[in-house]
Amino acid sequence: MYALAQLNLLYNYLSSKKKREQCETFDLSKPNEVPYVTIQLPVFNEMYVMERLLDNIALLDYPKDKLEIQVLDDSTDETVTTTKAHVERLAETGLDIKHITRTNRVGFKAGALKEGLEIAKGDFIAIFDADFLPQPNWLKRTVPYFKNDKIGVVQTRWGHINRNYSLLTRIQAFALDAHFTLEQVGRNSKGHFINFNGTAGIWRKDCIIDAGNWEGDTLTEDLDLSYRAQLKNWEFKYLEDVETPAELPIVISAARSQQFRWNKGGAENFRKMLWRVIKSKNISAKTKVHGLLHLLNSSMFLSIFVVAILSIPMLYIKNEYAHLRDYFYVMSFFVMSTIIFFVCYWFMYRNTYGSGFKKFFGYVGMFFTFFSIAMGFSLHNSIAVIEGHAGKKSEFVRTPKFNIRRFKDNWKNNKYLRKNLSKNVVLEGLLMSYFGFGMYSAFIVGDQGGDFGLFPFHLMLFIGFGYVFFKSIASKV
């Protein structure tokens, strides 16, 4: 079902490319036409990127008398002092910028955004995480869309300043590019629910209030508020052509914490939003299906993990009980889902890297590398999904930033990196061995020289869990 939904989104995406949309503008010479904007920068212990963030935001080209910047600083280290000093220097240039701190971190990021909203001057609220670097014309390219009173959010596409830093960053970029092209455009072009991505987007303040404001009861407060707003009939606008560059996690422990938060948050939001979506009388049945599959997308990892674990016993059962073989042949039909993903992701990849035989050959390698490493994360992410569906609460764990342009060679000195190995690493090492046994089994089962039908699957699982296991060990050495 999920694969078929992706195929439908591909059709929507390609259909949307045939339509040319007029870019909205407003006249800066008419002050009454220029709305007041508040920029919120939620930060927590961002020693390595704070200076870069503030200097970049100060370059935004927008009338200063219509712009307010809130630095929502929940930091607990020395960056509180350095950030305050930097903010004061920028304020001396005439910029309306404030350093706002809290005595507690209730609600984490959602709590900081909510408290900042209470004193925000702007009718529109732009939000940027600490590692995002919007272009100077970012507000001019996004704010005019709010001329449509039904628009509650304008979301822009994430770019990646360190896409080619390593295999890990290339894989993350590959996955995010699919989300920010195929999925966001495919849903938005047909009026299905999309999500504000937590950063690089701008909200209508009235929309936030009408939807019930920020809530900190899930780890993905952005997805939560997005669905509550769209259930209230607010429309979202996704701008694929407006890229907002950002930094991808460069070490596997940082990628782990981000993946855990996103996947658990997705499951938490499915639990929270399921009946609201089903019972809504404002949306079509097709939008409901796409919405529920969107909320369930993190649960794909649980499905992958269960299938992976059972695949080796299945290999022996298939060859031991001949009368069951026909059932296994029928089940092989579901390999179609992988083919569908392969086709869908190619169109996304082609957008970024171009077409041609050489590019397609590179895509084939990247696709199977991506799939292998995604499966290597399936144990870690399945635990996150189970916790989310079970309602187990956990702290918001931030993703450490690095500013790799300055600290590329000594990232191991980053003070925010977790020092301890994840408890799952040992299990991931054992699973690597388990799927190595699965490959060996292909040679010894059956009466006619082996059964290699699942060999590629087990090879990918072996590579994926091996990559995650050895990368996790190496990052601590």
Q: Which residues are catalytic?
A: 74, 222
Contact indicator for 231, 280 with CB cutoff of 8 Å: yes
Task: Enter the tokens of residue 389.
Answer: 């569906």
Taking phi over 0 as left and psi of -120 to 50 as alpha, with beta for the rest, 356 belongs to: left
* Cα separation, 157 vs 240, whole angstroms: 5
Task: Enter the tokens of residue 316.
Answer: 């022996």
Please choose, from the candidates 475, 463, 447, 406, the residue with its C-alpha nearest in 3D space to the C-alpha of residue 171. Answer: 463
Contact indicator for 139, 126 with CB cutoff of 8 Å: yes
Please choose, from the candidates 123, 99, 131, the residue with its C-alpha nearest in 3D space to the C-alpha of residue 38. Answer: 123
Task: Enter the tokens of residue 47.
Answer: 């020693």
Cβ within 8 Å of residue 328, ≥6 positions away: 314, 318
Question: What's the sign of the alpha-carbon dihedral 313, 310, 460, 315?
Answer: positive
Strand partners, 169: none
Residue holding tokens 């999904």?
Answer: 385
Instruction: For residue 421, report the phi and psi dihedrals to the nearest 5 degrees.
Output: -70, 145
Contact indicator for 441, 87 with CB cutoff of 8 Å: no
* Cα separation, 177 vs 394, whole angstroms: 28
Instruction: For residue 242, report the phi and psi dihedrals to the nearest 5 degrees.
Output: -100, 105
Question: What's the sign of the alpha-carbon dihedral 56, 62, 63, 68?
Answer: negative
